Structure 1
Amino acid sequence: MTSSSASVTIDTKWFQASDGTSIFTRTWIPSTEPKIVLCHLHGLGEHSGRYTPIFTQYAQHGIKSYSFDQRGFGETGRKSGTLGYNDGIKRVYADVDELLARVKSEHPELPIVLSGQSMGGGLALGYVVSKVTQSKPVDLAGIIAMSPFILLPKETAPDPFTYWGGRILAPIVPSLPIKKVLDIRSISRVESVRVDYLNDPLNHQYISVGTGNDILSNGDNLHKSGYQHLHIPLCMAHGEADIITSAPATKDFFEKAPSQTKVIKLIPDAVHELHNDLCREDVIDFYTKFMLGLAAN
């Protein structure tokens, strides 16, 4: 299915992963020849369709964007009936491999950037780190980590009983769902964004103990040693009032990462979804300039 506007055509289709799972994908195609390609991983509890506003703006600059509803989320989760469970982080990385292979086959001549928001930001960083530690090639022009899940802020971190309980249960019943109540004020200071989020039928507040354990373990690894394997161009952004993921952890990762080309934007008073917050235009311009700079090299 496709829909079009003056600057972008949105193509949606189902893709069959190598294990037979149906994955729902979206592609935002600019009206002009693309200069660079973006592959994006969405955050916890949401879906790829929420990025149409930002990817439409990217399209106006010749950036073609691909994304998919991860296992357990969006249309993919609805079809499988397993909300909040991603089949394990190795399977997520395999899905990313398959998406990138599709993109490379369609645009072998264009640079590719991997991006992710929140959970997706941590997974994007973890994906690159896993490739390097396995001595596998990283065929990416750069990476954008948007409010990435590296660590939880101290004020919202789980108590030790909950933390270790989840760690123990994860290998036994990884698909066991837990409903996590979201404070809607924590995603954006814009009231219309909050209302749209709550009214979106594809959003949900479930996470399985296995997925939660994977996210925490991946973040711990990024914080303790993973940063040393990040050599490709790096762009990071975080709101300093974010209570969902830790801005200080993002700053620490950025400072330690050995990337020769790296930029960061820390925004006072901004909350979790910078691309949907009061600083929206500023941060979208920041990401856009990073990608166009890579395209020009």
Structure 2
Amino acid sequence: MPKIYPPGEKSQAAHISDGIFVAEDGANLPLRHWLPEDEPKAVLIALHGFNDYSHFFDGPGRYFSSQGIACFAYDQRGFGAAPRRGLWAGEAAYTSDLKILASLLKQRYPNRPIYLLGESMGGAVIITAMSKTKMPKIDGIILSAPALWARSTMPWYQTSLLWTLAHSMPWLTLTGRGVRITPSDNIEMLRALGKDPWIIKKTRVDAIHGLTDLMDTAYSSATSLQGNTLLLYGEKDEIIPKKPTYKFLQKFMETNAADKTVAFYPKGYHMLLRDLQASTAWKDIAAWIYSTTQKLPSGADNRAQHVLAQLTSPTSKQ
């Protein structure tokens, strides 16, 4: 049977100490920060994607801190240098950790708006937390290529194979070798990730099964996700397909569309925040944080409106 490896018993009050987010069960989750020189105007918590870790936010974090935004990113359980590396902690663990850290930073910065940013799996964690958990007051969420490839949008043979492997050899590890996909056009960055010892390169089947469960939950939360939201998607994304993303967005925009901004980047890949044109997305995010009602500088929101309008057109063949 596929297993999850949840947190231990609560043994202490969660706190932040010397680059560590100490959870209630005593788990030490490495915490990075990028702080502006002066008092921050806003606070942003960033969550990394599957098999990644908090270092993913180094470039964006340095940029946002220069714009007066205090940034924090931590290694989620099972990833990077966090405990139980390679093991899936479960949806409840990931959303609970986010909730607790948001509460701690809200105490540290009581008069500053709090934003959440999630890339890929991190985006799915944020969607789930905001839809299913009683979170502290969050002023806005940013979802960069959120992991929304739910089972209902996968071919039957893919879901069948995952179920079979997860229930027969959950310990089996997969490397992805031979799979020809391009996660980013930033080749130098990809080569660095290949040499980074903290990037997980052999993935357990039960972790993939857990990620898919999380994507199922996030995908089904399209109509229950409330509040100011900015969703960014690269049209060259080869990791999270267009079909589930577009279906999610069509439902997502049905409720409170005025609070939601969608941005499509024609030259963007899955790693939008680390692509060669990453600064374009960074500038859009900063502009959105400081004025959620204005148009994005890049015009990526206009592009998204055009694409989504075509999807709902009676003459559309998509």
Q: TM-score with structure 2 length normalisation?
A: 0.77
Distance 1:239 1:191 in 2: 17
Q: Secondary structure at the match of 2:141?
A: strand
Q: Distance in 2 between matches of 1:42 and 1:221?
A: 18
* Alignment partner, residue 161 of structure 1: 160
Secondary structure of 2:162's aligned partner: helix
Cα 1:89–1:208 change in 2 (3 A) is farther
* Structure 1 portions without partners, runs of 5+: 1-10
In structure 1, the partner of 2:278 is 280
Inter-partner Cα distance in structure 1 for 2:159 and 2:217: 19
Corresponding residue for residue 230 of structure 1: 225
Matches within 5 A, 1:1-297: 13-76=19-82, 80=83, 82-131=84-133, 136-151=134-149, 159-166=158-165, 168=167, 176=171, 178-181=173-176, 186-223=182-219, 225-257=220-252, 258-259=255-256, 260-294=258-292
| Alpha-carbon distance in 2 for matches of 1:49, 1:239 | 21
Q: Distance in 1 between matches of 2:108 and 2:140?
A: 19
Equivalents in 2 of 1:158, 1:29: separation in Å? 47
SS of the residue corresponding to residue 88 of structure 2 reads coil
- Contact 1:88 1:210 (C-alpha < 8 Å) held by counterparts: no
Provide the alpha-carbon RMSD of the alignment. Answer: 2.7
- CA 1:127–1:169: 2 relative to 1, 3 Å: farther
Q: 1:22 to 1:289 in 2, by over 3 A?
A: same
Secondary structure of 1:15's counterpart equals strand
Q: What SS does structure 2 have at the residue aligned with 1:159?
A: helix
CA deviations on 1:96-116 (whole Å, 9 max, x unpaired) are: 122112101100111111111
- State the match for 2:305 in structure 1: none
Cα distance change, pair 254–127 in 1 and its aligned pair in 2 (3 A): same
Amino acid at match of 1:163: L
2:316 aligns with none
Structure 2 runs not aligned, ≥5 long: 1-16, 295-318
Distance 1:137 1:20, change over 3 A: closer
Runs of 4+ in structure 1 displaced over 6 angstroms?
Answer: 152-158
CA distance in 1, matches of 2:55, 2:180: 19
Judge which range, 112-121 or 251-260, deviates more: 251-260
Contact 1:46–1:204 (8 Å) recurs in 2:
yes
How far did residue 239 of structure 1 move?
A: 1.2
Q: Against the structure 1 CA distance between its residues 61 and 263, is the aligned structure 2 distance closer, same or farther, given a 3 Å change threshold?
A: same
Corresponding letter in the other structure for 1:56: R
Take 1:262 and 1:56, find their aligned partners in 2: how far apart are those partners?
A: 26
Of structures 1 and 2, the larger Rg is shown by 2
Change (3 A) 1:99 1:86: farther
CA apart distance, 1:40: 1.0
Aligned mates of 2:199, 2:90 — CA distance in 1:
20
Decide whether aligned partners of structure 1 residues 13 and 157 sit closer, same or farther in structure 2, where only a CA change above 3 A counts. farther
Deviation string 1:216-237 (CA, Å, 9 cap, x unpaired) is 12322333x3111111111111
Contact 1:145–1:237 (Cα < 8 Å) also in 2 = yes
- SS of 1:122's partner is helix
Q: Is the CA contact 1:239–1:247 (under 8 Å) kept in the aligned structure 2?
A: no
Q: Which structure's residues are more often strand, by fraction?
A: 1
